[in-house]
Structure 1
């Protein structure tokens, strides 16, 4: 499986694997019913499966205790936060602990009080913090944002936290012929700023996640695993056409978290169940 032994692969070995994967086909989606001819040997380790709590925000607003308990019953042991739903960091951490859940990551802004952000992150037990969204109309503004990311990343690093960036699809739409995502990745410090690739939004923007991983190796350490129907609608992991086995096979060596997400689920707990079962059972 894709665990400790796989992580010992050299950069040369990784590039060979990724290049081979790319020759299979550049598309990040697979037609429904298409068979994978390669033998299934690897899996997502259970301790790397997480869920972005934004997917359950409608439930967490009213019942954080019951919602987190339900996630634990499904089998989750990690979550990624997007706020604490009216509770203090200390109060929310107590609910997490009661349900044996770890909030290894959280979505934060970098333009506010970083000292408070750091204090809360430490209380919650976060190992990384991730900027969930940025959007600018000019390349100059993207470059300035990258500079602010670098500055914030140093502050977080000194506090023992890693800073990352989560994409949507607009980062892959060119401005004056330049992709904002290329600006962000080229202008931020590779050591201090990691990448959390949202697979739905990357594919929706026309990007190939395997190529993104390959070009930014080894900075991609988290995936948001959300699926896409053939007509571009968001759907639960494993129920759409994104070729997750291809993506995972080419990149599992450095991915620390596979985070289930759906931005607008009709049944949040069902999405959590479907996503967990898919990641638990998928082979690549």
Structure 2
């Protein structure tokens, strides 16, 4: 058969129903780094920073969420942001988020807050962070008046942070799930903030501990906003923190049911109540996580 005749007949064949096989793109599974909130080992890091980081790396942790930013010196743990980034690089660790002390500026003049946010941005850029995170409010600040004006404040900070090429997130504890007026603080934050400017770092422990909705239900209200998680277990009797696998939260059942479409980072954390000490706790939690939970992501 001549080439011209073959091409002509082939064209007729396609019009007769022989359509080309469609090419489907294979959706790649997200690759998450095993994260640790450094607040967990704050005592060990204060005594031996380099030794603690070496241990963290040896346990399989890859990414740290930091705390304790020094805005006056733009420093972390006594080292300038640039120097601390070099230390992390030497250990093969990264840092994608930090908890910054925004609650100290809740009632500050706008210019003062803006200057503080600028220092956070400089530190975050030096560390190659993806997110700047609001982590806390002091007990006396947890009022209806605060939650009524908090969304606008978060939007303002989020806009400044986003313009710098970074993400901004709010981290919950238990008090956000308390009712202020007619709504919970958490609902007031979600409804009053711009989803493009303010994301959520959901502490799964506190959600189980204090929210009227399950973590699955909370995330389902706005899946695109829940970009980070904190993972820690709950003591079966006291409901305090405990090492992963020792408590009452069944993460092996919970995690597969959660919407992870927006999830970028997760961090194991234990704020206290260590069975022995903080280093042993991150050791035990890492072991349990790698054996039972890491494959669920």
Equivalent in the alignment of 2:123: 120
User: Among residues 38, 42, 50, which one is paired with 1:53 in the alignment?
Assistant: 38
**Separation in 1, partners of 2:152, 2:63:** 31
Partner secondary structure for residue 183 of structure 2: coil
**Offset of residue 246 of structure 1:** 2.9
Establish whether residue 240 from structure 1 lines up as the match of residue 243 from structure 2. no
Equivalent in the alignment of 2:3: none
> Structure 2: any 5+ residue segments left out of the alignment?
1-25, 69-75, 106-112
**Separation in 2, partners of 1:52, 1:134:** 18
**Offset of residue 6 of structure 1:** 5.5
Establish whether residue 132 from structure 1 lines up as the match of residue 111 from structure 2. no
Establish whether residue 221 from structure 1 lines up as the match of residue 227 from structure 2. yes
Equivalent in the alignment of 1:42: none
User: Among residues 100, 103, 107, which one is paired with 1:108 in the alignment?
Assistant: 100
Task: Indicate if the aligned counterparts of 1:139 and 1:183 stay in contact, CA closer than 8 A.
Answer: no
> Structure 1: any 5+ residue segments left out of the alignment?
8-44
**Separation in 2, partners of 1:214, 1:48:** 24
Equivalent in the alignment of 1:13: none
Establish whether residue 175 from structure 1 lines up as the match of residue 183 from structure 2. no
Partner secondary structure for residue 64 of structure 2: strand
**Offset of residue 115 of structure 1:** 1.2
Equivalent in the alignment of 2:203: 198
Deviation track 1:31-67 (CA, whole Å, cap 9, x = no partner) reads xxxxxxxxxxxxxx5x332000000100111211111
Across the aligned residues of Structure 1 and Structure 2, the Cα RMSD in angstroms comes to 1.9
**Separation in 1, partners of 2:226, 2:290:** 21
**Which deviates more, 103-112 or 148-157?**
103-112
**Offset of residue 156 of structure 1:** 0.6
TM-score scaled by length of structure 2: 0.77
TM-score scaled by length of structure 1: 0.80
Deviation track 1:224-244 (CA, whole Å, cap 9, x = no partner) reads 111002221210122211121
**Separation in 1, partners of 2:144, 2:231:** 28
**Offset of residue 76 of structure 1:** 1.4
Task: Indicate if the aligned counterparts of 2:223 and 2:261 stay in contact, CA closer than 8 A.
Answer: no
**Which deviates more, 57-66 or 252-261?**
252-261
Q: How does 1:75-114 map to 2 (within 5 A)?
A: 75-83=60-68, 84-110=76-102, 111=105, 112=113, 113-114=116-117
**Offset of residue 114 of structure 1:** 1.2
Structure showing greater Rg: 2
**Separation in 2, partners of 1:236, 1:4:** 34
Partner secondary structure for residue 61 of structure 1: helix
